[in-house]
Chain A
């Protein structure tokens, strides 16, 4: 049974410290009209809920809250749906505890 989670991931991400590299997203979604099953899987599998559907039904990413786990890379890089890199040196999430 898949219940839409009432958990607010935004609240969880708020605990974390980020250095956002404005204008340099480290993950990009390939332009598409209809999302592939792999892209759609990211809507649920991304632990920071970075992936969302826009009004046209396409998958978009906002990398600001990314915790750099690589789950989306494992799922959607092989199909070419996304391009994955690490953030530039010093940017991105900075764990205090890890």
Chain B
């Protein structure tokens, strides 16, 4: 056993773990952070978009130092059928601001930098160390962790579980349930490299301006899912994800979906001639508010993806991870400053603080959307995109048909596919879940 005793052990060096470790180390706490990868970020996968505000609260000067790719000035939403897309683009020069609101990043590089700040603040980081078990005392309180190193038992007052969506420790110890196939999406991603001038020309950008494209429709073949294309400096992140339960039900392959997305006539020109340098996959927590587990207990708290803190509707995850990591660390700091034990009763302040933050407020707002999207996936991801595409084509193609007839045909196609009651019901259900 490692004799040294720590105030806190943080399991994982992703967004949540780094935010927690940094916050505690800055308060002068003795923090040990454990990471199973070769370096921080080597096991982490994300699209990835970084929301500046949440990082700024941790590292105000991050813009001068962090490895950022492009600041996002344009957001495109595409609704796709097999040969077309109906798009909404929002582009604003206001995003070319002094302190941009969001950036594209490359997680492995970003996490390495983030971790360097955590170590500068005084935390001890041990990489290539897989935590195998949580250690309990005779009163069933969590008092440390066991690792796969020799003499690998380490003790601390509190353990912060920042082990990610697929974290084993919390589930093995019975602190929370294993993610269910209908609560997590599997996303696959490729990194496509191109000269930066080519990227700027293809996406209509200059300098470090960036674009993100989120796409839904027949690309997920009736499953609940989305595709994404993010422009980085010299590469494009391109991926697609669907609920694991849908993959299980349909027998579709993730790489088949990815390659079909890539070859879609709206996408193919953007990635023509690229050199692919990595293929990755990751689970995304999609269950929302109703899938959030118990967040604290005797000697432990759980943060980030491990706690299912992800806003699937707004595609916000790492900022919720950073925020929950920071808030957990502040709560722990509060308990410590009072000289009190890290008991469940004392740590419950973490949940109170999180409930008061945008993290839980946002997830609560959309609590009914994940199940709706899941049960209605055929309509939302197959029928409507096809109908809307046809309607658009009908609207723009000029062929001598009187407009009134065209409109009638469009309306008829909607009613035929979903019926009046179905259309009305879908609209009501969606509005109610969104409210």
Contacts and interface: CB of A to CB of B under 8 A. Distances in A.
A35 interface: no
Contact of A86 (B130, B186, B254): B130
Given A9-B255, A15-B277, A71-B244, A89 B130 contact: yes
A22 interface: no
A81 to B, nearest CB: 13
A5 B251 CA distance: 11
A59 B277 CA distance: 30
A62 to B, nearest CB: 16
A95 B181 contact: no
Contacts of B46: 98
A68 B248 contact: no
Interface range on chain B: under 10, 10 to 19, 20 to 34, or 35 or more?
35 or more
Interface in B6-57: 36-38, 41-46, 48
A7 B283 contact: no
Interface string B53-85: 000000000000000000000000000000000
Interface stretch (B104-112, B349-357, B393-401, B414-422): B104-112
Contact of B168 (A7, A86, A97): A86
Contact of B280 (A67, A70, A73): A67
Contacts of A77: 178
Interface residues of A, number: 41
A31 interface: no
Given A71-B247, A74-B166, 16 more contacts: A5-B255, A5-B256, A7-B256, A47-B255, A67-B281, A69-B283, A70-B165, A89-B36, A89-B127, A89-B147, A93-B280, A94-B38, A94-B43, A95-B108, A96-B108, A97-B280
22 contacts: A2-B250, A5-B253, A5-B256, A7-B256, A15-B277, A19-B38, A44-B251, A44-B253, A69-B282, A70-B283, A71-B186, A71-B281, A75-B244, A77-B178, A78-B178, A85-B168, A89-B149, A94-B43, A95-B108, A96-B277, A97-B277, A98-B42
Interface of B: 36-38, 41-46, 48, 106-109, 111, 127-130, 132, 147-149, 165-166, 168, 178-181, 184, 186, 188, 190-191, 235, 244, 247-248, 250-256, 258-259, 276-283
Interface of A: 2-3, 5, 7, 9, 12-13, 15-16, 19, 38, 41, 44-45, 47-49, 67-71, 73-75, 77-78, 84-90, 92-98
